[in-house]
Amino acid sequence: MPALYIAARHGAAPTYPHPDLEPVLNDTYGVVIWHEQIIAILATMTGCDRAAGDVARRALADPDRLPKVEAWFGRTAGQRGYAKEVLDEVWETVSSFGAYGFCRAHAVAFAVPALQSAYLKAHFPAFLYAGLLEHDPGMWPRLFPQTLCPAQVVSRSGGNTPSGVSPRSGRWCRVEKACFKSSRRIVAGPTRQAESTSRVCIEKIHRSARR
């Protein structure tokens, strides 16, 4: 699916499983991406309303209910004149959303901070790392043992500036003169596990600074 979407974005003609689905999929170049599109596909091909389509969509993740939804979809859409090969192609796509999928609003909620983070990483990396480590988004270790060598973060002017523990930082990570400073709260009480995770984090900052 990503390859089809990217190709269409670069000028390739999008394809649709059936002309009836073009209004549902035209803004994503024929590729099913959103939960809303699954609901619309089910409603279009079976004639059900969107509320029933959403109930069927939710059942895709339930192994006990999935066969019933498949039988209902094949029978109902088939009675409306859709060919078996179309039903098979559409069901393969629809059923895959039982494993993973998200609504359009969820994607937008991720896209906005992703673009903001990319801009910060390119232009203000020290501020980005200060924010990441301070607010702990779940994938970056936070603890910095005092015994580790300072990391390097590229300043906006292009020079390398060492990071360390700020004597003024107190509880919060901060940036001083384009240099990332860890807080005393984060470096307090280093342990063997903290040292290991901190090394990983500092290595990531080093690699980013060299890019």
Q: Average of pLDDT values for 115-139?
A: 74
pTM of the predicted model as reported, rounded to 2 decimal places? 0.64
Where b means 16+ CB within 10 Å and e means fewer, 64-95 reads eeeeebbebbbeebeeeebeeebbeebbeebe
Half-sphere exposure (Cβ direction) of 196: Cα atoms closer than 13 Å: 3
Instruction: Reduce the DSSP state of residue 164 to 3 states and report it.
Output: strand
* pLDDT score recorded for residue 2: 79
* pLDDT score recorded for residue 135: 64
Q: Is 162's pLDDT higher than 50?
A: no
User: For the range 168-175, what are the long-range contacts, defined as Cβ-Cβ under 8 Å and sequence gap of 24 or more?
Assistant: 172/134, 173/129, 173/130, 173/131, 173/133, 173/134, 174/130, 175/126, 175/127, 175/130
pLDDT > 90 in the chain, percent: 41
Q: Is 27's pLDDT higher than 70?
A: yes
Mean pLDDT is highest, among 85-89, 107-111, 157-161, for 85-89
Q: What's the pLDDT tens digit per position in 182-210?
A: 554 554 444 444 444 445 555 555 555 55
* pLDDT score recorded for residue 82: 97
- With cut-offs at 50, 70 and 90, classify the pLDDT of residue 5: confident
* pLDDT score recorded for residue 98: 83
Domain extents in the chain: 2-102, 120-210
Q: What's the pLDDT tens digit per position in 110-124?
A: 889 889 988 988 887
pLDDT > 70 in the chain, percent: 61
Q: What's the pLDDT tens digit per position in 33-87?
A: 999 999 999 999 999 999 999 999 999 999 999 999 999 999 999 999 999 999 9
Q: Which residue has the higher pLDDT, 102 or 43?
A: 43
* pLDDT score recorded for residue 122: 85
* pLDDT score recorded for residue 158: 41
Q: Is 134's pLDDT higher than 80?
A: no
